[in-house]
Chain A
């Protein structure tokens, strides 16, 4: 177990080093590092860890290994909520924007659960299908809203839908990282309660854990985390799917006492590396980081989906 943490820690150090120094212009190194690259590395750690931990928790409490903020539409809901808040003039206040995002995320999750209860069992793939439809609905709503509300809005559509880590300042980066640490810490502290969800709905209370209460708290915290994350960096897909899958299956860690910290670390690694690629591959142009993570993540989703259909997972 110690080895797994060493490996993750080293990988994080290496990816931060890559993100800081890859294609660095050494004539201005100090300034670029301080003003651009450092906040960027920090926000990558904060957002990556937040997304991976959110994904892991959602998969557990919904008994669905394909769940994550992106496939469930939570991220889209957050982006839509944040965009609406922006045009209502909440932009000036950091909390207005985030409140909009959190409310959007929460609204989608609650709606999704209601739809799923009305439809079929939660373990089925219909939940993911509904989630993706909600996600598309919110994304379209967002695009139309931005195009109508703001003359320059069309450009920010890209920010929301594909993610961008370059706009964030040091303060926001630190705030998100702190929030991610606190929420992950909470899930880690109550990891036994999450463990009880691993064997499906019927077994949760048999382990002495309240089903409704635990699920509600998890949903609320994930909405807050994803809301803050999306309002800072836009939507970044599949980190919440790939990382928990990797940790569960390839590192053979399913109990949350280790799953949560390892997802935190590897989520940070994944987004830091992804963002390093985004800002360096096409220099001087920026690639959208969400497109890079989706390019890797969508095939993983397909592979998982096929395995599930064959009954292997």
Chain B
């Protein structure tokens, strides 16, 4: 039984512009799905609509099920974030808040008493111990993204949707996050990750989904999608090569 299933899921704006066209797929619990596509291909529209974020002037059609629940957009915010949480690439606050305060807020969502062991475990796994007393506005963009990821994992939705949430991380942190994401997935969290870094996606994801001009053109294992034909469909004008990483054994794109 799939945790998340889409059937002919579409997102349209009012004067009939299609942002996401008739998308169908299933995602089992503990999966990591990478979402890739050129700018404006509809990734964010897809991810936001799945997460139940309503945007004025947009309509969805088709079916979207998360753990036997449909009509995510009709739920109360609390019911919704227990199922699916959407995180974007950055955040800011005009107030002086520390990292510890933010993470504890994440831990308290929808529960009576926060799971302190969980918080400690995530902080250790992501090496965020030194960050805790820091004021959020003093963090760099990349540091903020680490904190945001930690908050999402601590909050423990069934599906964590990360929309370019690692765009500012350095290589070392990126690979570390990939490893930790795999670990959290093994513990039963499900991830949808949009990124512009194909080589990061091949490292972190079990499966990839390619979008182009509002349409999902391919979905499958990394090994099946990193082929000359599929890549040519994605980028007709680019000559991309596929190589195998001697380090991780995963396929990588060379350009």
Interface of A toward B, CB cutoff 8 Å: 60, 63-65, 123, 192, 195-196, 198-200, 202-211, 248-249, 252, 254-255, 308, 313
Q: Of B82, B96, B101, B102, which is within 8 A of A208 by CB?
A: B82
Whether the Cβ atoms of A249 and B96 lie closer than 8 Å is yes
How many inter-chain residue pairs (CB < 8 Å) link A and B?
A: 66
Q: Of B81, B93, B94, B101, which is within 8 A of A206 by CB?
A: B81
Q: Top 6 closest A-B pairs, CB basis?
A: A208-B78, A205-B77, A208-B81, A208-B109, A199-B93, A254-B97
Whether the Cβ atoms of B77 and A195 lie closer than 8 Å is no
In angstroms, how far is the closest chain A Cβ from the Cβ of B10?
A: 23
In angstroms, how far is the closest chain A Cβ from the Cβ of B199?
A: 29
Q: Of B76, B77, B78, B91, which is within 8 A of A202 by CB?
A: B91
Whether the Cβ atoms of B91 and A200 lie closer than 8 Å is yes
Q: Which residue of B lies closest to A66 (CB)?
A: B94
Name the residue among B77, B87, B91 with the largest chain A CB count within 10 angstroms: B77
Q: Kindly state the interface size class of chain B when it binds its partner.
A: 20 to 34
Q: In the complex the two chains form, what is the Cα distance from A273 to B96 in whole Å? A: 27
Which residues of B sit under 8 angstroms from A63, Cβ to Cβ? 94
Which residues of B sit under 8 angstroms from A207, Cβ to Cβ? 77, 81, 105-106, 109
Instruction: Given A208-B109, A255-B101, decide whether A123 and B94 contact each other with a Cβ distance below 8 A.
Output: yes
Q: Of B85, B86, B101, which is within 8 A of A254 by CB?
A: B101
Give residues of chain B (60-101) contacting chain A, Cβ–Cβ below 8 Å.
76-78, 80-82, 85-88, 91-97, 101
Give residues of chain B (106-132) contacting chain A, Cβ–Cβ below 8 Å.
106, 108-110
Which residues of B sit under 8 angstroms from A195, Cβ to Cβ? 105
In angstroms, how far is the closest chain B Cβ from the Cβ of A105?
A: 24
Which residues of A sit under 8 angstroms from B102, Cβ to Cβ? 199
Whether the Cβ atoms of B91 and A209 lie closer than 8 Å is no
Instruction: Given A207-B105, A207-B109, A254-B101, decide whether A198 and B78 contact each other with a Cβ distance below 8 A.
Output: no
Q: Which residue of A lies closest to B54 (CB)?
A: A205
A-B contact pairs, 17 of them (CB 8 A): A63-B94, A192-B105, A198-B95, A198-B97, A199-B92, A199-B97, A199-B102, A200-B92, A203-B91, A205-B77, A207-B106, A208-B76, A208-B82, A209-B78, A210-B77, A254-B101, A255-B97
